[in-house]
Amino acid sequence: MTVQDDVARRHRAPVALRPLNRGFTAVLVGASLLPALVPLTLLDEAGGPVPGLANIAGLVGGVLIWWQAVLGIRQVSALFTPDRGGAVALHAWLGSAGAFFVLLHPLMEMIADRHGLAYLVRIDFTWVESTYTSLGRIAFLMFCALWLVSTLARAAVRYRTWHYVHYLSYPLGALVFVHAYGQGTFILDLWWLRAYWLALGATFAAACGWRLAAPLLAPRYELTGAAREGASATVYAIRPRGRALRPGPGQFCHLRTRLLSRAHPLSVVRTDPDSGELLFAVRDAGPFTAEFRRLAPGATLYVDGPHGTFTHEALRGARPVVLVAGGIGVTPFVELVRSRPEGGAVLFHAVRSPATALFGAELRELLGPDYVPVPGGVPFDARAALDRLGRGTARRALFFVCGGPGFTADAVAALRAEGVEDRRLHVERFEW
């Protein structure tokens, strides 16, 4: 049976992936801020403009922290969109906006009370009011650590450090809600604002609880086989022991080898619509992949997802599609190419050796001359790629880029330099 026969046998209508509607989400964020802005008409009741605005800045910062946390928890954001990349981007933007208000609040309180900088870090649990103030200061210090690791020190710390420091956002949020509930002037005076704040705190706690419980509820899969693919990757087949996930082409899932271990995002290479079997290609790199290679058939894996709408536009088939992959970055494109038996896609695959390229033989049979190996380890030559396409086709095409961070950044920059607009550029993103 040829690859094309297998595609025809297995082909089904593409899954509707529902990318994150940023406009609608922005409306929701704006609506959630309205209760925090109503006290702008009541500044005198807080002792004047500066104390009143300080309270409002704290409320706005708290609401934005709520949104940042909700969008940052993939198990929660997945309830209304599988678009993990869009949720992460919005999470980061709201974190920047929240940082402004979270930093502004204590500075304005310090100015209003005519204190020095020591006011920001003084911890005192000797009486009720100072206890609530100290909880806010602890949250402020946590936020500073989180903000520094995510911005100024991001390039200097390892991913795992960045990842673990992000766990501070959960106790930080809890401290913010308790601090404001016990000491916020407008929350104490306005019953409806107090009820709203309680609702935000309760849903924040529910989101954090779901984040902790989600690994326990993740579908269990059984490792059924492993086979080497190319020079430095292994393809793993896993079969559901109960509930089966149904990823669409280009989507990814998070896998963990133990119930409480850290999950890793991996693109789905193939989905069997009958058995629910999933295939993943894992490159030999790091302790996680080494642990994966040691697993014996029958081992249990915990899988959550599917996430990602990276290739959503490519499934529509209305415009030419150009795929640019660096090494194992080809994995989200494999099922996409299989799902387009009529063709219409050109794949530039950066590889060091075309003879051992990951899925090279299958992709070459599916795409024919539209599978184009290009030299790996050197900057992607966007000009040569666009010339090969023809400039007329290139002006209408959608571009999808996936690979290591360096390759992706260089390829996107090169395509932009050749006139490809951001609206036609789609880049795979996981959790950064």
Which domain, by its residues, includes 385? 313-427
Q: pLDDT over 90 for what percent of the chain?
A: 5
Q: Is residue 16 part of a domain?
A: no
- Residue 431, pLDDT > 60, answer no
Asked which of 192, 215, 238 is the last residue of a domain, the reply is: 215
- Residue 3, pLDDT > 60, answer no
- Residue 30, pLDDT > 50, answer yes
Give the CATH number of the domain where residue 243 resides.
Answer: 2.40.30.10
Asked which of 307, 338, 355 is the last residue of a domain, the reply is: 307
Q: Which two structure tokens, joined as six digits, stand for 340?
A: 């387009």
| One domain, residues 258 and 373 | no
- Residue 15, pLDDT > 60, answer no
Q: Is residue 15 part of a domain?
A: no
Give the CATH number of the domain where residue 197 resides.
Answer: 1.20.120
What proportions of the chain, in percent to the nearest 5, are helix, strand and coil? Answer: 55, 15, 25
- Residue 195, pLDDT > 90, answer yes
pLDDT, mean of residues 195-218: 89
Q: Please tell me the distance from the alpha carbon of residue 217 to that of residue 219, in angstroms, as a whole number.
A: 6
Specify the residue for token string 């996680």: 288
Helices (DSSP H) in 226-330: which residue ranges?
Answer: 286-293
- Residue 2, pLDDT > 50, answer no
Q: Is residue 5 part of a domain?
A: no
| One domain, residues 141 and 32 | yes
**Overall domain count for the chain:** 3
Three-class DSSP category at 217? helix
Q: Is residue 32 part of a domain?
A: yes
- Residue 278, pLDDT > 70, answer yes
Quote the DSSP letter at residue 126: S
- Residue 1, pLDDT > 50, answer no
Question: Parallel, antiparallel, or unpaired: how do β-strands 278-283 and 233-240 relate?
Answer: antiparallel
pLDDT in tens, 101-129: 878 888 888 888 788 888 888 888 888 88
DSSP per-residue letters across 134-161: HHHHHHHHHHHHHHHHHTTTGGGS-HHH
pLDDT, position 200 = 92
Q: Which has the higher per-residue pLDDT, 59 or 99? A: 59
| One domain, residues 211 and 224 | no
| One domain, residues 124 and 29 | yes
pLDDT, position 220 = 92
Query: Which residues fall within 8 angstroms of residue 285, CB to CB, at 6 or more apart?
Result: none
Whether residue 233 contacts residue 283, with contact meaning beta carbons closer than 8 Å, is answered with: yes
| One domain, residues 399 and 370 | yes
Quote the DSSP letter at residue 274: T
Query: Which residues fall within 8 angstroms of residue 115, CB to CB, at 6 or more apart?
Result: none
β-bridge partners, 223:
238
Q: Please tell me the distance from the alpha carbon of residue 253 to that of residue 306, in angstroms, as a whole number.
A: 5
Query: Which residues fall within 8 angstroms of residue 225, CB to CB, at 6 or more apart?
Result: 236, 237, 297
pLDDT, mean of residues 190-194: 90
Asked which of 307, 322, 342 is the last residue of a domain, the reply is: 307
Q: Is residue 124 part of a domain?
A: yes
Rounded to two decimals, the pTM is 0.77
| One domain, residues 222 and 203 | no
Buried/exposed 368-398: b ≥16 CB within 10 Å, e otherwise: eebbbbbebeeebbbeebbebbeeeebeebb
| One domain, residues 272 and 179 | no
Whether residue 179 contacts residue 153, with contact meaning beta carbons closer than 8 Å, is answered with: no
What confidence category does residue 198 fall into, taking pLDDT thresholds of 50, 70 and 90?
very high
| One domain, residues 27 and 120 | yes
Q: Please tell me the distance from the alpha carbon of residue 271 to that of residue 274, in angstroms, as a whole number.
A: 9
pLDDT in tens, 341-390: 565 688 888 888 777 777 878 888 888 888 888 787 778 888 888 888 78
pLDDT, position 4 = 41
pLDDT, position 9 = 42
DSSP per-residue letters across 158-208: -HHHHHHHGGGHHHHHHHHHHHHHHH-HHHHH-HHHHHHHHHHHHHHHHHH
Give the CATH number of the domain where residue 372 resides.
Answer: 3.40.50.80
Q: Is residue 326 part of a domain?
A: yes
| One domain, residues 274 and 235 | yes
Between the ranges 6-10, 64-68, 246-250, where is the mean pLDDT highest? Answer: 64-68
C-alpha triplet 341, 344, 350: angle, nearest 5°: 100
Q: Is residue 284 part of a domain?
A: yes
Whether residue 337 contacts residue 362, with contact meaning beta carbons closer than 8 Å, is answered with: no
| One domain, residues 65 and 194 | yes
Mean pLDDT across the chain, nearest whole number? 80
| One domain, residues 195 and 262 | no
pLDDT, position 17 = 63
Q: Is residue 54 part of a domain?
A: yes
| One domain, residues 82 and 210 | yes
